[in-house]
Amino acid sequence: MVAMDLFRSEEMSLVQLIIPAESAHDTVIYLGELGLLQFKDLNPDKSPFQRTYANQVKRCGEMARKLRYFHDQIAKAGQTPAQRPMVDKSVDLDELEIKLTELEAELLEINANTDKLQRAHSELVEFQLVLDKAGAFFSSARNTASTVQQQRADAENESSIEESIDRPLLQEQTEPSKAARLGFISGVVPKAKAASFERILFRATRGNMFLKQAPIEGTTIDPATGEETEKTVFVVFFSGERAKSKVVKICEAFGANRYPFPEDPNKQWQMKSEVETRLSELQNTLDAGNHHRHNIFNNIGFNLERWTITVRRDKAAYHTLNMLSIDVTRKCLVAEGWCPVSAKPKIQDALQRAAYDSNSQVNTIFRVFRMKESPPSYFETNKFTNAFQEIVEAYGVGRYQEANPGCFTIITFPFLFAVMFGDWGHGICLLLGALYLVLNEKNLGKQKLGDIMEMAYGGRYVILLMAIFSIYTGFIYNEFFSVPFGFFGGSAYRCPDPQFSIENCPSATTSGVEKWSYEPYAFGVDPIWHGSRSELPFTNSLKMKMSILLGISQMNLGILLSYFNAKYFCSALDVWYQFIPQLLFLNALFGYLSFLIVLKWCQGSKPDLYHVMIYMFLSPTEDLGENQLFSGQTYVQIILLLIALVAVPWMLFPKPLILRNQHIQKMRGATYGALRRSDSSASEAEVDSDHDEEEFEFSEVLVHQMIHTIEFVLGAVSNTASYLRLWALSLAHAQLSAVFYERVLMFAWGYSNPVIRLIGLIVFTFVTFGVLLLMETLSAFLHALRLHWVEFQNKFYQGDGYKFKPFAFNSLSEEDDM
C-alpha cells in the first residue's frame, strides 16, 4: 500500500475559496491545523509592507521578539520553563500583546535595578577588600616605624654625652611648610594587568613612586562588566600633584577602580563597619529582587510554550491572509490553492466549523477550478519512507503524476550499496549504529545535534536497510572482516594431496585444489576459495557479471517506467517509436549478454563470453566452436544484431516524419475551414495558421530526436559500464579488509608479547572504523546515489516539478518567529 502511494503523486485539485471577512482569520487557522491546502499568492506585485495584514504581521513579530527575550532571560537565570499541559483554550491576541508588554516593562525595570544593586554590591566588596589589604599595609608600616624609632631612641640615649661636646651651637632648622608631603591612591586592578601597571607607573613618575600590591584570593565580580575576574589590591605612594594626575590617568587606562582610604586607624575601623552594614543591606535587597524575578519567570514559564505557539500560528495565519485577494464590495477574501482530491471533504468540514465558531452568517464558498497549470507533486510519506523520498528529491521533484523512483529506491538503493559494501561483520557494526539511532529516535529528535549527526539521524532507516542488506551480501560473499566461515555445510573441494586437509593444503595458493563433489555450497561462496589461487579470478568473474545483471535489470526497469509516464506526458508515437525500440536495442545486445551469463552459470560450462560478444559484431556468421552455449546460437545472434541495427533508425526517423505529416494535414484542415468562414474569421484563421507554422520546425524536431537517439545509444553502453563500479568497489572493500586483517591484526598476533597484540588490535579497530566503516560507507553511498540519479532515473524521470507545500502549523519552526 505504501509503495502504491509513492508510485505516483496523489491527484490534486485547484480550488477557490470565497471567505467572509469576519471569519477569514478563523478559517485560515482551521486550514492550518488541517494542513492539506497550499495557498497561491494572489498579490505577487505587492511588497510585504503594502499588504492588508502587514500591521498584524508586524505586531506578531514584535510579540515573538518579546517571547524570545523571556526565553533568553529564563535560560540566563539557569531556570527551565515549567511545562504546563496544553489545553484547547484560545488566547486573545490583543490581551496577550498587552500582557507581554507589561511583563517586558516589569522585567526590564527589575533587571535595571538588579544591575545597579549588583554594581554597587561589587564596588562595596572591592572597597572592603581594599580596606583590609591596605589597612594591613599601613599597620605593618606603623609597627616597623615604631620599632625603628625605639631602636634609634635607645641608641641616642647611649651616645648623648659624646654628641653634646661635638654638637654645633647653631643647628640648621627645616621649616615644616617646606617639607614634601607624600600622597597615595588605593584601589584594585586586574591581576593580568598588574605587572604592566607597575611598569607604566615607574616610567611615568621616573621612579618617584612606591607601589605596594596584595593579590586577592579567588575571584571577584567586576562592577563594570559583571564578570568574575582575578584582581589585586594596590597602594601607590607619590609626591606632588603632577605625579597624582599621572597616576589617576594610568589607573583609568588600566581599568583600575580607585577607592578612598583614610590614614587614621579609627576612621578605617569606622569605614569598615559602615561598608559591612551596607553590604548586608544590599545583599538582602538583591535576594528579595531575585526572589521576585524568580516568581515572574515561573509565571512566564508556565505559559511560555502556549504563548509562543499562539503567536507563531497567528503570524503564519496573517502571512497567509496577505496572499489572499480582497473583494471590498462583497466584504470577502478570495483564496486559490491546491489540495489533494481525497482531502476535499476534510477541507469542507473545516470551513463549516470555522464559520460556526466565528458566528458568521455566510459560509465559505468552496469551488473546484479546471486546471490550466501543472499541479504540485504530493507523496504521502512516513518516517520510514521520507528519507528515501528525500534522496530522490535531492535530484529534482517529480512532475505531477510522474512515476516516482522513491518506491523502488527503498529496496534498490540499500541493495546496491550492500553489493559494494558486502561484509556481514561490517554490516553488523553498521546495524548496531542504525539500531541506536532508531531506538532512541524520540530522545534524539528533541536534541540539537551536529551537522553530521543530524544527517545520520535523518537517514537512520536508510542506514538500517543498508546494514541489513550488507549482512545479506556478506553471507553471499562469505566474508566476516575478510574471514570466511563454513556455516552452510562442507566444501565441495579437497586437497590433491590426501595427506593434508583442505584447510592446510599447501597447493591451495599455488596449483589450486580439486573439486570432488558436484553439490554446490548451500548459500554463498564456498569458503575454501578464500586465499586460494582461484579466489581472485572467481570473485572478479562473479562480481563483474553480477554487476552487469543488476545494471541491465535496473535500466530495463527505467525504460518500462518511462512507458508508464507516457500515459500523462507522451503520445502513442513515443510508445511505438521511442520506448519499444529502446527496449529492443538494449536487450538485443546487453540483455542477450545477461542471458548468456545466467546460461553459463546454469550449465557450468567455460565459454569465453568476451569472444562471443566481440565476434557477434566482427564476424556474426563465424562458427562459435567451443564457445557455443546452445544450438542455433549463431542465427539467434544475427537476428539480435539486425534488431539492434534496425532499432537505431526506428528511434530516429519515424517520429519526426509522422509529426511533419500531422502538421501538414492540420494546416490543410485549417485552410479548408477558413474558406467556409467569413473574411474576418478567415483572417483570424490565417493568423493562427501562421502562428502554428512558426511553432513547428521539422529541422528542430529532427535534430532533437537525433540527440535523444545518440544519447540513448551511447548511454546504453556507458551506463552498462558504469554499473561495473559495483564490481570495482566490492573488490576494493574486500581487499582493504583483507590487508587490514592480515597485515595488521594477524601480524601482531604472530608475536607472543601481549603488548604488541594489544597495539595491533587497537590499530586494527581504528583503521576498520575510520576507513572501512566511515570512508568506505560514504564512498559506497555516493556511488549508489550516482547509479540511481544518472543510470536509473535519467531513463524516465524528468524531475522538473515542484513540491506540494501545504499551509500547516505542524511544519512551522523557530525560524518562522524571526
Give Dmax over CA atoms of the chain in angstroms. 158
Q: Note the pLDDT of residue 164.
A: 46
Residue 801 within any structural domain of the chain: no
- Residues 274 and 405 grouped into a single domain: no
Final residue belonging to a domain, choices 326, 341, 369: 369
Residue 434 within any structural domain of the chain: yes
Q: Which residues contact 732 (CB under 8 A, 6 or more apart)?
A: none
Residue whose entry in the numeric block shows the C-alpha cell 597616576: 247
Distance between terminal CA atoms of the chain?
A: 40
Q: Note the pLDDT of residue 676.
A: 53
Sign of torsion, CA 567 571 575 581?
A: negative
Task: Compute the 3-state secondary structure of the chain and give helix, strand, coil in percent, each to the nearest 5.
Answer: 65, 10, 25
User: Using one digit for the tens of pLDDT, what is the confidence trace for 364-389?
Assistant: 899 998 888 889 999 988 899 999 99
Domain extent at residue 635: 384-488+498-526+540-670+698-795
User: Using one digit for the tens of pLDDT, what is the confidence trace for 670-726?
Assistant: 655 554 554 444 444 444 444 444 467 888 888 988 998 999 999 899 999 999 999
Cell of 446: 528533541
- Provide the 3-class DSSP secondary structure of residue 339: strand
Cell of 569: 506526458
Distance, CA of 335 to CA of 806 (rounded, Å): 14
Residue 5 within any structural domain of the chain: no
- Residues 623 and 707 grouped into a single domain: yes
- Residues 356 and 388 grouped into a single domain: no
Residue whose entry in the numeric block shows the C-alpha cell 528529491: 393
- Residues 650 and 710 grouped into a single domain: yes
Within 208-301, strands assigned E span 209-215, 220-221, 228-229, 231-239, 257-259
- Residues 222 and 75 grouped into a single domain: no
- Residues 120 and 232 grouped into a single domain: yes
Distance, CA of 500 to CA of 506 (rounded, Å): 8
Instruction: Return the axis-axis angle of helices 93-158 and 54-76, rounded to nearest 10°.
Output: 40
- Residues 584 and 457 grouped into a single domain: yes
Distance, CA of 120 to CA of 125 (rounded, Å): 9
Closest CA to 503 of 520, 482, 486, 516: 486
In Å, how far from its chain's centre is CA 359? 45
Final residue belonging to a domain, choices 244, 260, 285: 285
Q: Note the pLDDT of residue 170.
A: 37
Residue 166, class by beta-carbon neighbours within 10 Å (0-12 exposed, 13-18 middle, 19+ buried)?
exposed
Q: Do 183 and 124 meet the contact criterion of CB atoms below 8 Å apart?
A: no
Q: Note the pLDDT of residue 687.
A: 41
- Residues 364 and 398 grouped into a single domain: no
- What is the full DSSP assignment across 639-691? HHHHHHHHHHHHHHSHHHHHHHHHHHHHHHHHHHHHHTS-HHHHHHHHHHHHH
Q: Do 483 and 506 meet the contact criterion of CB atoms below 8 Å apart?
A: no
**CATH number of the structural domain spanning residue 137:** 3.30.70.2750
Distance, CA of 300 to CA of 367 (rounded, Å): 44
- Provide the 3-class DSSP secondary structure of residue 611: helix
- What is the full DSSP assignment across 127-155? HHHHHHHHHHHHHHHHHHHHHHHHHHHHH
**Strand partners of residue 18:** 334, 365
Residue 594 within any structural domain of the chain: yes
- Residues 265 and 321 grouped into a single domain: no
User: Using one digit for the tens of pLDDT, what is the confidence trace for 252-272?
Assistant: 999 888 988 887 888 888 888
414-444 burial by CB neighbour count: b if 16+ within 10 A, else e? bbbbbbbbbbbbbbebbbebbeebbeeeeeb
Residue 220 within any structural domain of the chain: yes
Amino acid found at 640: L
- Residues 578 and 704 grouped into a single domain: yes
Q: Note the pLDDT of residue 566.
A: 67
For residue 625, count other CB atoms closer than 10 A to its CB. Answer: 8
Q: How many CA atoms lie within 13 A of 457 on its CB side?
A: 16
350-360 burial by CB neighbour count: b if 16+ within 10 A, else e? bbeebbeebeb
- Residues 442 and 346 grouped into a single domain: no
Residues in the chain: 818
Instruction: Return the axis-axis angle of helices 265-321 and 93-158, rounded to nearest 10°.
Output: 160
Q: Which residues contact 522 (CB under 8 A, 6 or more apart)?
A: 488, 489
Q: Do 428 and 570 meet the contact criterion of CB atoms below 8 Å apart?
A: no
- Residues 239 and 365 grouped into a single domain: no
Please state the domain count of the chain.
3
**How would you classify the pairing of strands 332-340 and 12-20?**
antiparallel
Final residue belonging to a domain, choices 238, 253, 285: 285
**Strand partners of residue 493:** 515
Distance, CA of 549 to CA of 53 (rounded, Å): 61
**How would you classify the pairing of strands 514-515 and 365-369?**
unpaired
Q: Note the pLDDT of residue 659.
A: 86
Residue whose entry in the numeric block shows the C-alpha cell 535595578: 113
Q: Note the pLDDT of residue 567.
A: 61
User: Using one digit for the tens of pLDDT, what is the confidence trace for 591-620?
Assistant: 999 999 999 888 877 788 888 899 898 888
Q: How many Å is the Cα radius of gyration of the chain?
A: 44
Q: In the chain, which stretches have pLDDT less than 50? A: 1-2, 87-88, 161-162, 164-179, 510, 675, 678-694
User: Using one digit for the tens of pLDDT, what is the confidence trace for 411-442?
Assistant: 999 999 999 998 999 999 999 999 999 999 98
Q: Note the pLDDT of residue 560.
A: 87
Q: Do 550 and 416 meet the contact criterion of CB atoms below 8 Å apart?
A: yes
Distance, CA of 131 to CA of 275 (rounded, Å): 10
DSSP state of 811: G
Q: Which residues contact 693 (CB under 8 A, 6 or more apart)?
A: 667
